[in-house]
């Protein structure tokens, strides 16, 4: 049985998907908050699919670096809040990463802008 608000026989559990919206930083923060509340309510473990576009993928990629992210979600949320609170820019590191990425034949000005904005905000 799946615990939480509802109980289902194991072979009759519904497929539940969460879709994070686009919207840059706002979408990233919203998805972090949504996942955190789902965990608080005991529903996070019932989620089968986590999908997103644009800014919500910033949250997802940050979480997916940790295979046990559901077990340490609170710590990851706190870490991201700390990062967002400290806007810094390491020019030598940023330049090195940009030059490496620019070797890709499909690298564009949009990629440069996205990296610049995201690195400044979340340092990843």
Is the pLDDT at 116 greater than 60, yes or no? yes
Domain locations in the chain as residue ranges: 1-86, 87-124
Confidence (pTM): 0.72
- Taking residues 62-77, what's their average pLDDT? 94
Is the pLDDT at 46 greater than 60, yes or no? yes
User: For residue range 91-115, what is the model confidence (pLDDT) as tens digits?
Assistant: 787 778 778 877 877 777 777 777 7
Nearest to 30 by CA among 44, 18, 45: 18
Q: Max Cα separation, the chain?
A: 56
CA dihedral 99, 101, 107, 112 (to 10 degrees): -70
Is the pLDDT at 2 greater than 70, yes or no? no
CA–CA–CA angle 56, 36, 69 (5° rounding) = 75
CA dist 25 and 119 (Å) reads: 12
pLDDT of residue 1: 44
Tokens of 65: 């670096």
């Amino acid at each position: 049985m799946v615990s939480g608000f509802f109980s289902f026989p194991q072979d009759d559990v519904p497929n539940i998907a969460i879709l994070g919206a686009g919207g840059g930083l706002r979408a990233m923060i919203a998805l972090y908050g949504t996942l955190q509340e789902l965990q608080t309510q005991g529903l996070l473990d019932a989620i089968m699919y986590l999908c997103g576009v644009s800014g919500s993928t910033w949250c997802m990629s940050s979480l997916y670096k940790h295979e046990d992210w559901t077990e340490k979600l609170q710590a990851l949320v706190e870490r991201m809040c700390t990062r967002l609170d400290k806007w810094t820019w390491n020019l030598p590191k940023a330049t090195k990463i940009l030059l490496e990425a620019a070797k890709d034949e499909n690298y564009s000005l949009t990629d440069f802008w996205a990296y610049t904005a995201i690195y400044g905000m979340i340092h990843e």
